[in-house]
Amino acid sequence: MRVVNFNPGPAALPVSALERARDEMLDFMGTGMSVMEHSHRGKEFEAVHNEAIALLRELLGIPDSHYVMFLQGGGHLQFAMVPMNFLPAGKSADYLLTGHWAKVAYEEALNIGKANVAANTEQDKRFVRIPKASEIKLDPSAAYVHLTSNNTIYGTQFHSFPDTGKVPLVADMSSDFLWKKFDVSKFGLIYAGAQKNIGPSGVTVVVARKDLVDGGERKDVPKILRYSTHAKNNSLYNTPPTFAIYMMRNVLQWVKAQGGLDAIGKANDEKGKVLYGCMDKLASFYRAPVEKESRSYMNVVFRLPSEALEEKFVAEAKKQNMVGLKGHRMVGGIRVSTYNAVSLDNVKQLVGFMESFAKSNG
């Protein structure tokens, strides 16, 4: 029996994407072999690869001004590749510190060049909010501005993005990419590890403005770490993680079948409303550490009156077939990750449990 999976990532995948993988495992499209056993340069895999790119372009409305790339190494390698490619000596990059991963990205940039903290919402070793526009001090001559659109650990999310003028905006969207439609053209570069909304771990989507990527190849950066290398070769410069791309294609087909990102975005809004609605109603029992305007619709975090009750909450939810609810070890508490493959019904089931748990233990 399948469980209701609130894991923070790697996370729940649409059943149809998994079923397709299962059914084709030994014989992909009548070719007598698994998609994993196909050459990445054969027409069978190439069709999958290009379909994944086309689906992303269609679903998000990615304009021709931007490349779509599939890389390896997760968000972490992007923490390094972004400054390696776009932070020349003599320049500085602006970083918005809104959570743990934003800080790690900033620290990696410091290993490579000069980086500046344009905003920092850390307080008492925690991040409970997204900075207001007025708090963000941007350097108009910065090489780029980097932010983390959704903070998985702390449960905060940007609901509007700062205007960075002519300075390219770079966003780590690992944990909310594809949660709804947004204007890709406003970004210089977007990256997202797949393992939340898009697919399994092992592939990273990068969407980058062509003029930035093509705007001069740095010779002091290893070739494999230059975006231009991958852009010029349609992400087939080296052997790509073929199965992960195949799974992503399956997930994107599912997104389209759901009605695209309008439908997905609507479902995510509804899921968030139901969950936060329950928390607000039972605010004395389910304490929200995050400021209202900064609430994440992907990772909903809350505390219970005691750690013992939090443990009990996790254990009893598990008995009712709901898993993945433990908060990140850095912050404790409860975290409900409601990525795309988690349905409104899944969330309603949890909310029903939350109501009865509060009644029994409040």
Residues near its own copies, by CB under 8 A: 1-3, 5, 7-13, 15, 18-19, 21-22, 25-27, 31-34, 36-40, 72-77, 79-80, 84, 107-108, 111-112, 193, 195, 200-203, 219-225, 237-244, 247, 321, 323-324
The C-alpha atoms of residue 164 and residue 162 are separated, in whole angstroms, by 6
> Is-catalytic flag, 27?
no
- Count the Cβ atoms, other than its own, within 10 Å of residue 232: 14
Distance of CA 298 to the CA centre of its chain: 9
Cβ(225)–Cβ(211) under 8 Å?
A: no
Closest by CA to 346, choosing from 327, 321, 313, is 321
> Is-catalytic flag, 254?
no
Of 94, 172, 179, 326, the active-site residue reads 172
Q: Whose Cβ is closer to its own copies: residue 9's or residue 131's?
A: 9
The C-alpha atoms of residue 227 and residue 207 are separated, in whole angstroms, by 10
Shortest Cβ 323–its own copies spacing (Å): 8
The β-bridge relationship of strands 4-5 and 322-323 is: parallel
Q: Whose Cβ is closer to its own copies: residue 162's or residue 200's?
A: 200
The C-alpha atoms of residue 65 and residue 190 are separated, in whole angstroms, by 13
Shortest Cβ 191–its own copies spacing (Å): 13
* Amino acid identity, position 194: A
Q: Which two tokens stand for residue 136?
A: 């963000």
Q: Which two tokens stand for residue 2?
A: 């399948």
Angle subtended by helix axes 344-361 and 260-281, to nearest 10: 10
Q: Which residues pair with 323 in a beta bridge?
A: 5
Of 94, 176, 179, 196, the active-site residue reads 196
Shortest Cβ 85–its own copies spacing (Å): 12
> Is-catalytic flag, 132?
no
Shortest Cβ 294–its own copies spacing (Å): 25
Task: Please give the DSSP secondary-structure letter assigned to residue 37.
Answer: G
Cβ(87)–Cβ(110) under 8 Å?
A: no
Within 13 Å of residue 277, how many CA atoms lie on the same side as its CB?
Answer: 11
Q: Whose Cβ is closer to its own copies: residue 33's or residue 283's?
A: 33
Q: Whose Cβ is closer to its own copies: residue 22's or residue 125's?
A: 22
Whole-angstrom CA distances from 258 to 247, 251, 254, 266, 340 are 17, 11, 6, 11, 10
Shortest Cβ 351–its own copies spacing (Å): 20
Of 94, 101, 176, 271, the active-site residue reads 101
Q: Which two tokens stand for residue 214?
A: 């093509």
Shortest Cβ 82–its own copies spacing (Å): 10
Q: Whose Cβ is closer to its own copies: residue 39's or residue 356's?
A: 39
Cβ(68)–Cβ(53) under 8 Å?
A: yes
Whole-angstrom CA distances from 247 to 21, 23, 132, 193, 298 are 7, 13, 38, 13, 21
Q: Whose Cβ is closer to its own copies: residue 201's or residue 343's?
A: 201
Q: Whose Cβ is closer to its own copies: residue 21's or residue 167's?
A: 21
The C-alpha atoms of residue 123 and residue 290 are separated, in whole angstroms, by 12
Shortest Cβ 253–its own copies spacing (Å): 16
Task: Tell me which residues are annotated as active site.
Answer: 101, 172, 196
